[in-house]
Structures are given as C-alpha cells and as structure tokens.
Chain A
Amino acid sequence: MSFIKNFIEQETLNRRNFLLASALGLGGAAAASLARPSIARASIADPTIAWSYRDRTNPYWNAIASGGEAFVESLGKPKSALVQLINEGSSEKSLSDVKALLGKTDGRLALAIDANDSPNGRPVVEAVAAKGAYVSTIWNKTDDLHPWDFGDNYVSHMTWSDVGPSEQTATILFKAMGGKGAIVGLGGIASNNPAIERRHGLDNALKNYPDIKLLDYQAADWDTQKANAIMASYLTRFGDQITGVFCANDTMAYGVIEALRAEGLAGQIPIVAYDGNAQAVDLVLAGDLLATVSTNPYWGGGVTAALAYYAAIGAFKPSQEPREHREFYGPTILITKAEAEDFKKKYIQSTPSYNWKDFWGPSKGQIMY
C-alpha cells in the first residue's frame, strides 16, 4: 500500500509547491512592479517637483531657483512645494541626493537638475529612468548622452552657447574704444565650460580688431573680491595703457568697478560683463558698465521644472517630440544702454509671468556638437 502513501505525499507536496509558487508569483509580480514601475506607470498623478543645483548664494542659481518656485506657484502650490537639492559643487552629493529623493518618493518625481559636472549627467539620468521618474537637465552632460535614448523619462536638455554673445559684448567694447587700444581680461574658474566659451568669444572678436591688444587675462574665479584685487594690480602693472576691461561675468565686474572707483576712475574705462544680473543692469543704465548678457535664468529654472513635470503627468509625450524639442539652446539677451531700460521693466521690476506650457518658444534651436 506504500504507493498510496507515496501518492498522497506527492500530492500534498505538489499542492504545497503550488501554493508556495503562486504566492511567490504574486509577490514577485508585486516586487517587479515596485522595482520597475516604468512598465506599469505611464504617468504620475501628482509628482514631487525638485530642483538640484549648486548654490543659492550665487545670483545666477538664485534666479534659477526663483523661476522653479514661480512655476510651482503656477500650479497653485506654495513655494515650499519645490524640493531644493543643493549640491555645493559636489557631484557625489548631487547624485546621492537624487537617489535619496527617488527612494523617498518611490520614483514619483519630476526632477530639474544641473548635474554639476558633465560626467555626472549619465548616472543621474540612469538612476531617474530606472525608477520611472522624469528628469530635465541643463548645462552639464557629456556629448554622448541624449534624451531620446531614454524613451520618455529623460525629457530634455537645455544649454546656452556663450561664444556668440561674448563675442558680441567684446565687439561692443572694442567699438566703444574706437577700435584701438589695450584691454585686460578677468575670467571664471578655468575649467568651467562657460569660462572657456566666454574666453573663446573674446578671442574671436580680437581677430577682427588687430589694433586691440590683450594685455593680460587672469582667472578671478567668478569672485568679486578676487577680481577687485587683480584689477588693482593690473592698474599698477599697465597703468594708463588699459583702455577697456572684459569680464566673464557680472560679479567680477562689480569688483573691477570698485577697484576703479577707489582710484577715481569709475566710468572712465569701458567694461563689459555677462549674466544680466539686476545690479549689472542698473550699472549699464548708470553708464558704469557697457553691456551684459542675460541668459534669463528665471525662465530657465521655471521651464526646466515645467518640462519634467508636464512629461511626468502625461500632458505630453517626450518621445513623440522632434529632437530640437529634446536638446536645445536657451535664450540669450544682449543688454546695452539702449535695451537696459526696457529689460529692467520687463524682467526685473515686474516679474514676468510666463506661460510655463510654452516650453520651446524662447529657445534657440537644436544643440549642435
């Protein structure tokens, strides 16, 4: 009779295995859906919105964050609904903050980010895509990383080409000098992309003006006080030879102007800058600064968050958009005395109200490599 006993035993085992297996199967399916929600989830109803950037002290990043807050308010949420991840210039912190927030929100996240440096772009995007969240990037990514390689989850990348605009400001400077004379230059942190591009723009302009001499060009690291000290030393070294100053951003130009003011030379030597900060626009109006360039960081901060958000809630499908809507140049606005009054009215005195669904209106075409 042992075969009966064997049969019963086998059936019990099978049944147990079946129960175990089905339990495993159900759990496994649940686990799989947890780990890879991108398959199950086409859109996210109410995603957390976050901006990850370097440093709020800097007027540029401050404007980016303010734009992000304005976008969040346009959704009827308080400013505090925008989660701000500040990486303090560390790519490691940038990535770990993003991963922590992905974990906390379980991938229900619309992220706008500057990855701090180019190599950090890929791990950030991969982490976001693996969790089925949505990300839009600005400035830093490597040339081989493209939104269209990640379906819908990597929504867009925006950057600004500084070569052309800085060539324009340099040309304005040279014209103001009457096409001849000598300038000194102050650059940003030597390894920064914008610092390199802005120097490149200056070099391009110099080629068209053979009678303009570049006396010296030193990195003042975007820093007001360093620029102040370097400009004072330039005055000792070159004295009256200096008839123009090229600054790679506004904050350094403030230091230069104060160094000239200390010598009673304020307003006598033409200076050009970059970034279009509110104070710089006032200086353009006062005649202390010849020109600056705005990249409209306020709009950039808002629209980058908007792209990630509207893609996340399924308002549009990034993968159905053309490539110039996935990788594009941001706007640049040249501000000389002629435009300053108008610019101030439009962008500084009244905070412009943007249509945050007009993602690509102000942009300047697809990024060229």
Chain B
Amino acid sequence: MSKLSGRADLQKWAPLLVLVALVVFFAVLNPNFLSVRNFARISISATAPLMVALGVTFVIIMGSIDLSMEGAVAVCAVVFAWVFLALGGSLAGPGWLAVPLCLLVGAVYGAVNGAVHVGLRIPSFMASLSMGFVGIGLSLLMTGGDRIRVEDPTFRALLTERYFGFPLMVHVALLVLLVAWFIQSQTAIGRNFYAVGGGEELAHASGLDVRRVRIAGFTIAGVFYAFGALFAVAQIGIAETATGNNFMFASITSVVVGGTALWGGSGGVWNTLIGVLIVNVINNGMVVMGLPRYIQDGVLGLLVIIAVVLSTDRRSLSLVK
C-alpha cells in the first residue's frame, strides 16, 4: 500500500520535478539562465499560452477536447482591438469597455462551440476544430487581412510596467490563475467537470445534466481564450488573424505535460501552470544554449513524451485511444 502511494506521489510531483530538473540543467549550461530578468522573459512568453491552456484544461478534465483556440483568440483579439480603437483607443477613456466585451465574445464563442458539440452530437474534436476554422475566417473577414495596432501606453503598461522585476501582465495572469483555481475547487461546476470526466454514465445516473455541464465547460474555456487574446495583444501591440497562431499545439502540449490526462477526470490548473512553464523553459533554454532550430522541434517532441510517461498513471487504463 505504501509502495503504491509512493508511486502515486511521485507521479503527482513528477511535472514539478521535471521543471526543476530542466531549470538546473539549463542553468548549468548557461548561468545567465538563472536570473530574474530571464525568468521575467520566460513568464512574458508564457502568459498568453497559460490563459489558453487554463481554458482547455477544464475541457480536457471533462474528457473532451477543444481545438478552437486559434480561431477564438483571433476573433477576440480583433474584436477587442477594433472596439478599443473605436471607443477612443485608450484604457483610461471609454476604451476599457472593450475588455469586458472581449471576454463576452470569448464566452459566446465558447458557448456556440459547446452547443454545436452537444446539440448536434458531433465529437468535440471535430466540432471545435471546425469552429476554430470558422473563427479564423471570421477574423479575416473583419480585418480584410490587415493588422490592427494597439499602441495605447496605458494598455501596453501590461508589458512595460514592472513590479518586483516582473511585468504587470504576469501579475494579472496570476490573479486569473487564482480565479481558475477557485472555479476548479470551490464551485459546483468545477467539481462537476471532474464528475463528467471521471465517468459520464455515473454522473448522468446521479442526476447531473451532463449536456449543460459540457456547454458550461466550453463557455468558461472561451473566456480564458479571451484573456489569452488580451495578453497576446498587450505583448506584441498588434491584433490580427495570426494572433491566434501556434496556440493549439502549445496549449494542449502544456496541459498534457503538466500531468492532466487526456482521458479526463484528473489534473487541474496547477498542473497546467507547471506544464506551461516546462514548455516555455524548454523553448527559452534551447535558444539560450544555442541549439539550432531544426533540432529544437525534435527535442521538444521527445521531452513531451518523456514528461507524459513520467506524470500519468497509465496502468489502470485498459484502452489507450
């Protein structure tokens, strides 16, 4: 029994151990890696992916998958920038209204995504992938292929203002992370995600409206994608269709590497935080140690496999699909 719990403990802490090992490894190769300024750089590049990954974490806990994030982020970013500029282009003025609107757009997008999946009984993989394409097309239609520049110094303070060595956006992101944790552990809907992911028939038999829980999960995910869009625009100062690029692989990888199982029912937001940090530490560290680009992709792929092997208990699974 003690042996079993020892193994379970190891699996629980494996992602954190992997993260620490990576940090030590890169620090030995280049001492510059271990500086507050570099940690700030890693955290800046991790902020937007963390938001998107938190969103998809809830969906994955339910045992579904959401691949619509690239379209959702693009739509949210473009709507935000467009309304923000239309309202005067300053966070200090009426432009702040664009922020709640952006979150609302994310929620609606997620709700439609969930409704398509649940209502039309299309597997979440296919429904969300298609909704992602719809989003890319929609944002392209809105921008006509142009980029919208957001240069308001108050908004960009998210990147340029630093407290304790870290930009404002990192602090805000930590607050959003706490909200995600609150949803996961302190609310009924958060516990219902685990119930659905752990055994849908059982949850259904216990009187849970599984369809509503699923739609709620996708809606909440959409709100987090909107946060990701806001941070991505704050980081680069540009909103465009390409704002959503690269988020799909990065976020799903992060969630899985953090130890949240793709078959649902386990993991959580802290796992996702560790996962996002692992992926970004690897990306940063490989450039810092001077690996050529074509090797970097391969190394990242291998590390993902190793991390998943270490951090998930696959013995209880009769079937891997």
Contact = CB atoms under 8 A, between A and B. Distances in A.
Interface of A: 56-59, 61-62, 65, 190, 216, 218-219, 223-226, 228-230, 232-237, 239, 254-255, 258-259, 261-264, 279
A233 B242 contact: no
A223 B284 contact: no
Interface string B25-44: 00000101101011001101
B313 interface: no
Contact of B242 (A57, A65, A264): A57
Nearest to B33: A236
Given A225-B245, A225-B246, A262-B167, A232 B236 contact: no
Contacts of B35: 236
A318 to B, nearest CB: 31
Interface residues of B, number: 40
Interface stretch (B51-59, B115-123, B143-151, B175-183): B143-151
A62 B41 contact: no
B212 to A, nearest CB: 36
Contacts of B147: 59, 279
Contact of A237 (B44, B144, B232, B287): B287
B149 A279 contact: yes
A61 B37 CA distance: 37
B32 A230 contact: no
| Main DSSP-derived SS at the B contact region | helix
Given A62-B145, A232-B41, A237 B246 contact: no
Contacts of B294: 190
A57 B35 CA distance: 37
A263 B162 CA distance: 10
B139 to A, nearest CB: 9
A344 B235 CA distance: 27
B42 to A, nearest CB: 8
A53 to B, nearest CB: 11
Given A232-B284, A237-B288, 19 more contacts: A57-B145, A59-B145, A59-B146, A216-B290, A218-B292, A224-B242, A225-B245, A228-B235, A229-B284, A232-B41, A233-B284, A233-B287, A234-B287, A236-B33, A237-B30, A254-B237, A258-B159, A261-B160, A279-B149
B134 interface: no
Given A233-B287, A261-B159, A279-B147, A228 B32 contact: no
Interface string B208-251: 00000000000000000000000010011110111001100000
B283 interface: yes
13 contacts: A57-B241, A59-B147, A61-B145, A65-B145, A190-B293, A232-B44, A236-B30, A254-B238, A255-B236, A258-B236, A258-B237, A262-B41, A264-B160
Nearest to A223: B245
A320 B41 CA distance: 60
B310 to A, nearest CB: 25
Interface in B271-311: 283-290, 292-294
Nearest to A222: B242
B242 A226 contact: no
Contacts of A65: 145
A258 B149 CA distance: 13
Nearest to A224: B236
A62 B241 CA distance: 13
Contacts of A279: 147, 149
Contacts of B140: 56-57
B293 A236 contact: no
